[in-house]
Amino acid sequence: MKYLISGGSGLVGKVITSKILTQNEQVNWLTSSKKEQKNVSCFSWNIDKNEIDTNCFTNVDAIIHLAGAGVAEKNWTETRKKELIDSRLKSTQLLFDSVKNLTNKPKVIVAASAIGIYKNQDDLLLNEESEQGTDFLATLTKDWENAVNQFENIGIRVVKLRIGIVLSADGGYLQKVAAPAKWGFASALGNGKMITSWIHINDLADLFLFAAKKENLNGVYNAVAPNPVTNYEITKQIAKALHRPFFMPNVPAFALKLIFGEMAAVILMSQNISAQKTINAGFKFEFETVNEALNNIYKKVIY
Ligand SMILES: NC(=O)c1ccc[n+]([C@@H]2O[C@H](COP(=O)([O-])OP(=O)(O)OC[C@H]3O[C@@H](n4cnc5c(N)ncnc54)[C@H](OP(=O)(O)O)[C@@H]3O)[C@@H](O)[C@H]2O)c1
């Protein structure tokens, strides 16, 4: 297989890339920056100017579409919200407009989506058919999925992975929200009862490649491990995996709202997401419990 990854230089894209290269397959990156990577051919695009180097599609079998500005990177000002929307919708449209004119089209697109699409329903177990939300994040995710659906109209198989909280030593949730634990200040957030539906980064990368290769996979799948935990539990397990104490009081929700504004919704949301459809499709998780995932991640890191 030959892959094209948009946003390949990010947290998830780098791990997918290294797995592809380990399997002696080829990978191109479609990048908005000047980043370079050993053994990867990099092609540029500029979403705002609607420009793309269409050589990126040559002999490509599968597109893995990850590009998007970081949802939890900066506070959600109106300018930032526009960036979050444009980086997902305009990028998908530019991809689609370019691919529809190709004589030799890729066979499949596997696109990132997010569990933020679901309505926040505390501990109710949610599957792919569950009710969707109407807040900023849910609306953005719905529009993003709809943009990706266009590829079906030109005969390309579409798989959308609704990604949960990605656990990795190199960035994302563990680097930001759990950073205080490294200093011995692990602290649950809000009332600590919110359900965190997480996935180990290795499993997520494997799931993208599984979806690209398995020809009978179509539509949406939750990309979360089978055992979600409360925020209190994951914080306790992070402290334990780091051999740090866990005695601090919770950070109250109002403090998070003061610091993060509207974006606090991401931190405080409770999403109990089912992995059943993904398991039924034949995917085998390497890390099924948060214990296993954190022990694997932190065994490599020395603080
Ligand atoms: N990590 C999570 O917990 C999580 C959870 C749910 C969903 N997701 C989604 O999964 C995808 C991959 O996640 P990730 O953690 O790997 O993200 P990431 O580390 O932030 O990487 C995303 C990549 O997208 C590209 N990008 C950033 N801003 C852009 C912009 N304004 N316009 C166009 N491209 C831009 C960048 O690649 P270039 O510089 O090479 O262009 C960047 O490396 C994202 O779409 C994210 O929303 C992630």
pLDDT tens digits for 76-131? Answer: 899 999 999 999 999 999 999 999 999 999 999 999 999 999 998 888 999 999 99
Q: Provide the whole-model pTM.
A: 0.96
Structure tokens at 146: 């709809």
Domain 2-299 grouped into CATH 3.40.50.720 = yes
Q: Tell whether the model's pLDDT for residue 13 goes beyond 50.
A: yes
Q: Whose CA is nearest to atom 2 of ligand 1?
A: 166
Q: Which of 166, 163, 160, 168 is nearest to 212 (CA)?
A: 160
Q: What is the mean pLDDT of residues 140-167?
A: 97
Q: Measured from the CB, is residue 12 less than 6 Å from ligand 1?
A: yes
Mutating to test ligand 1, I would choose from 66, 167, 221 the residue with most ligand atoms within 8 A of its C-beta, which is: 66
Q: How many CB atoms are closer than 10 A to CB 236? A: 18
Pick the residue whose CA is nearest to atom 35 on ligand 1: 68
For ligand 1, say whether the CB of 55 is within 6 Å of any of its atoms.
no
Mutate to test the pocket of ligand 1, among 4, 5, 6, 12 (most ligand atoms within 8 A of CB): 12
Neighbour-count burial for 107-127, b at 16+ CB within 10 Å, e otherwise: ebbbbbbbbbbbebbeeeebe
Residue written as token pair 């998830």: 12
Atom 33 (ligand 1) nearest CA: 87
CA distance 196 to 86: 27
Alpha-carbon gap, residue 217 to 108, rounded angstroms = 10
The Cα 35–Cα 32 span in angstroms is 8
Chain Cα centroid distance, residue 95? 19
Residue 106: both structure tokens together: 């890729």
Q: In this predicted model, what pLDDT tens digit does every residue of 252-279 receive, in sequence order?
A: 888 888 888 877 888 888 999 999 999 9
Q: Any idea where the domains of the chain sit in the sequence?
A: 2-299
